[in-house]
Structure 1
């Protein structure tokens, strides 16, 4: 009796180990009872054509990335016979073919409706953003000059505006070109205040024509001197960490605090009159 029990336990252990081994390879994982959700990642922006890519996720939060492009009607527009899909297949067909999981018509249509509402909403927002930028003279190919250091960009650097889009936090990210390099800058601004933000970080015409060679040289080197205007100081050092302002008969007095440099700047009527470090 003991020998028979030991034999049975050994058999069960062998079968379980085989199943675990096959599952760990991923080849025999059973998807038939798992709930699928699919998302279409929208790579459209202001000046690019629609490019939608499929992402599948399962109820255990595992994501499966499928390199399948789909059109605006959510039909697959690429062929991959190894992966098991061809042009014209639906997402529903792909899930059934690849994972043996039949998505119900209700699940499928409900998800498509939600995706379509989201896609149309994004499309309208992009169109509105494009009109807003065009009203302030920003369009594809527009040459801009950096006002103050932001990310890898430095004052007076020339960049070309290429595109813009919304981030996952719904702030606006700019795609810029500097020489052969493409630079992405998150403005941290929403549609409501993008005009103000653009004017804060860019000149729309060459600043070299606005000021003297001495001022331009100091800004390029990140330096300041007594007599510079507030705008010129911002171009050289960026916005202050803190500002204290008082107004009297004599005019406007401001104290700017740069904590990183441990420096205090003092302005009288927009002119730098002294500093303390």
Structure 2
């Protein structure tokens, strides 16, 4: 079984910096972590490899510092990694990102399964998985909460729906996105951390991928963000003095003022 896991970096804190010109998120590799939903995809891929044998490859598009996150994935059971990094990729929306990732996946041969997290916690679109599958021309299932059976030919899984769940069978190759209830991601072992430091790693730019300049980055993004801002959080405390009646009257007055 040959599995590709798609990984995205997301901000590690609530402090999100926005580019004032493009209105896109400014990513700093030192202040980023693996998208939480993607950690469940990594664990599921490793579990399938342990059961059926094979290879797990981590794939990501991002700045060069994203290599740190890919090596962390290697410490958790991933065999090798590829990073797609180029200034021309910057500002990509989900459509341009899915196209770029599809070029990276096409560099591999005989891929059986692609796993992605349900969505990225900084964008919440849940579009990358389905769009990537459509680029590759393969079937896909979203919001998978359980793998009931896995073979070299197909997968039977449970998908969460608005009213409950569905049990579906999909022929391979296919793409599945997983939810956080599917497993409990393992922590890196000491041998895993050592392996992660020297695990096979490839870096590919737009030229190496033979990417169409009109389909990557801002130029390839039909979604245009008109305005984005981070809400300013303010809090203040007011001390109320006096007896119980005075305090109660003061609280009622304050509540009416904010309603």
Give the structure with higher Rg (CA): 1
Normalised by the length of structure 1, the TM-score is 0.20
Q: Which has the higher contact order (CA 8 A, sep 6+)?
A: 2
